[in-house]
Structure 1
């Protein structure tokens, strides 16, 4: 008979310990800098087959981290998008940024290093392999927020808009990962100032110099 402790069975507790240990180590050292033995030890598990039993492979364990974290981020984003849409109607650039940023910032805390993991993946060759899950706008409502953000800068040439979005997404993960490493979520005043900067980057006018360079190329 399966015993239970609190909300989870003992088997589910073991699985969650492995997922959270993997997330913490991947965020700290990178995916390739961590062994299965490292993860087992960090999770207090010494059975050499335990990760294979629950996840199959190291890659399966990484995917399990996404499955563990994305639903709660997506749920908060759903509520925020509904609130912003009800209040403001069509989402502005700033609204769409908040819909992407706030749920990610809300993950920062004890035993949650999801943002720092995403930042690590974005700065590695593995990002493209896990783009649907590792993107800052992962999840069904994340896609909606991303589409709203792209629509809000639709007046920009496509290549410039894409370049700016890439810069903003990398900056979002990088700055939030900084707070994760400090172990403290950003203060409201810090987060609003960051959203100011990301909004300004996206909406800055295209300079005459850039227009000239694009025509020349």
Structure 2
């Protein structure tokens, strides 16, 4: 590959990343329906009004890529932690919850996932919940399916509808807390926060999810 083509591909990749980062932030801060394609182009500092269409196709195609990017990052980390927990024997609830929660912290993506991803997915779920459920499948949810299987194993003494309800409540609570944490850290000039940067806050996230799952049946 000649140098000119390599430079063109590099610039194209950088432009895609800039568009994705700008789009996710706009969606996170203003919602999905309120953001137009032209606004994304302007926020990314691009001059070509058709840049989003050129790189991604439709708005739904862009949303799908943003959603899958973060979901894959989280699920890859979840699988690694579940592998480690399972290698040590049959894991208990605390180990499984840690494997579910910790991969959500400080996402190491190339387009600023750690800055806006959880506010973005809260918005997607609020506005397009069925689409969200249909989109995050396959390789982006293998670790989550393993997590679900462990929870059903560990809470097998409870009726299945109750277990599924608790998994839903725990997941929604975690997303809301992660979105609040993300917003606080994003608003900080230093990336630090007097509450959310403390180790106790992270342990509190884990304890909260575990408490929702473990609570006594009334």
User: TM-score, normalized by length of structure 2?
Assistant: 0.82
The structure-2 alpha-carbon separation of the partners of 1:125 and 1:150, relative to structure 1 and needing over 3 Å to count, comes to farther
* Corresponding residue of 1:44: 45
Q: Deviations over 1:182-211 (max 9, x none)?
A: 12564321121222122122111111xxxx
Please report how far the alpha carbon of residue 154 of structure 1 lies from its aligned counterpart in structure 2 after TM superposition: 2.3
Please report how far the alpha carbon of residue 31 of structure 1 lies from its aligned counterpart in structure 2 after TM superposition: 0.9
CA separation in 1, counterparts of 2:178 and 2:148? 18
CA separation in 2, counterparts of 1:181 and 1:72? 19
Contact 1:96 1:146 in 2 (8 A): no
Matched, 1:188 2:199: yes
* Corresponding residue of 2:174: 172
Q: How many residues are aligned here?
A: 202
Question: Which runs of no fewer than 5 residues in structure 2 stay unpaired?
Answer: 186-191
Please report how far the alpha carbon of residue 65 of structure 1 lies from its aligned counterpart in structure 2 after TM superposition: 0.8
Please report how far the alpha carbon of residue 84 of structure 1 lies from its aligned counterpart in structure 2 after TM superposition: 1.4
* Corresponding residue of 1:119: 122
CA separation in 1, counterparts of 2:163 and 2:140? 19
The structure-2 alpha-carbon separation of the partners of 1:108 and 1:177, relative to structure 1 and needing over 3 Å to count, comes to farther
Please report how far the alpha carbon of residue 34 of structure 1 lies from its aligned counterpart in structure 2 after TM superposition: 1.0
Q: Deviations over 1:30-73 (max 9, x none)?
A: 11121111111111112121111111100100111123333332
Contact 2:67 2:121 in 1 (8 A): no
Further displaced range: 179-188 or 54-63: 179-188
* Corresponding residue of 1:201: 212
Please report how far the alpha carbon of residue 108 of structure 1 lies from its aligned counterpart in structure 2 after TM superposition: 8.2
Matched, 1:148 2:159: no
The structure-2 alpha-carbon separation of the partners of 1:134 and 1:176, relative to structure 1 and needing over 3 Å to count, comes to farther
3-state SS in 2 of match to 1:32: coil
Please report how far the alpha carbon of residue 139 of structure 1 lies from its aligned counterpart in structure 2 after TM superposition: 2.6
The structure-2 alpha-carbon separation of the partners of 1:146 and 1:47, relative to structure 1 and needing over 3 Å to count, comes to same
User: TM-score, normalized by length of structure 1?
Assistant: 0.82
The structure-2 alpha-carbon separation of the partners of 1:4 and 1:76, relative to structure 1 and needing over 3 Å to count, comes to farther
Two-structure CA RMSD over aligned residues (Å)? 2.5
CA separation in 1, counterparts of 2:181 and 2:207? 18
